[in-house]
């Protein structure tokens, strides 16, 4: 996949974009999300969960760091915001999620970017002054 940008204008459009990503994801997929507070990372992840048939509420796992959900495929939702870097990620067993049977979604992925494996989908989300979000997709 070449780098490309998708624009969403509402939370529902952001969830729908995540849902498309979830429908296309396979076991072992890694989706790394980067973007400031309020950019739409968790909203995007909620769409992925919807595509996987997960009915329970999906919230940011900032304090838990990792939330696991059961659906068509397991969803491992990781929030690296409170981690100080790759070592912290490794210390919590994060590498196991990168090599899992489910879909691994990592918020604040820039904190651990150097250990993401080739083939991970890296999405940078930029909140625009008009409230829209620009999603820049690239494979690493």
Exposed/middle/buried for residue 27 (C-beta within 10 Å: 0-12, 13-18, 19+): exposed
pLDDT band at 2 (very low <50, low <70, confident <90, very high): low
Of 64 and 126, the structure prediction assigns the larger pLDDT to 126
- Written as six digits, the tokens of 104 are 């691994």
Distance linking the first and last C-alpha atoms of the chain: 10
Count, in order, helices (H) and strands (E) of the chain: 4, 7
Enter the pTM of the model. Answer: 0.92
Residues 4-50 have pLDDT tens digits of 899 999 999 999 999 999 999 999 999 999 999 999 999 999 999 99
pLDDT at 64 over 60: yes
Domains of the chain (ranges, CATH numbers)? 4-133 (3.40.50.300)
For residue 7, give the H/E element and its range.
strand 4-8
């Amino acid at each position: 996949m070449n780098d490309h940008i998708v624009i969403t204008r509402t939370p529902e459009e952001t969830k729908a974009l995540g849902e498309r990503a979830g429908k296309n994801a396979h076991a072992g997929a890694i989706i790394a999300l980067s973007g400031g507070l309020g950019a739409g990372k968790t909203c995007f992840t909620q769409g992925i969960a919807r595509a996987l048939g997960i009915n329970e509420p999906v919230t940011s796992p900032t304090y838990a760091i990792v939330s696991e959900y059961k659906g068509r495929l397991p969803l491992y939702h990781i929030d690296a915001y409170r981690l100080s870097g790759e070592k912290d990620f490794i210390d919590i067993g994060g590498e196991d999620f990168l090599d899992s049977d489910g879909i691994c979604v990592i918020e604040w992925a820039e904190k651990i970017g150097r250990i993401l494996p080739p083939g991970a989908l890296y999405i940078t989300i930029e909140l625009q002054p008009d409230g829209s979000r620009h999603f820049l997709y690239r494979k690493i």
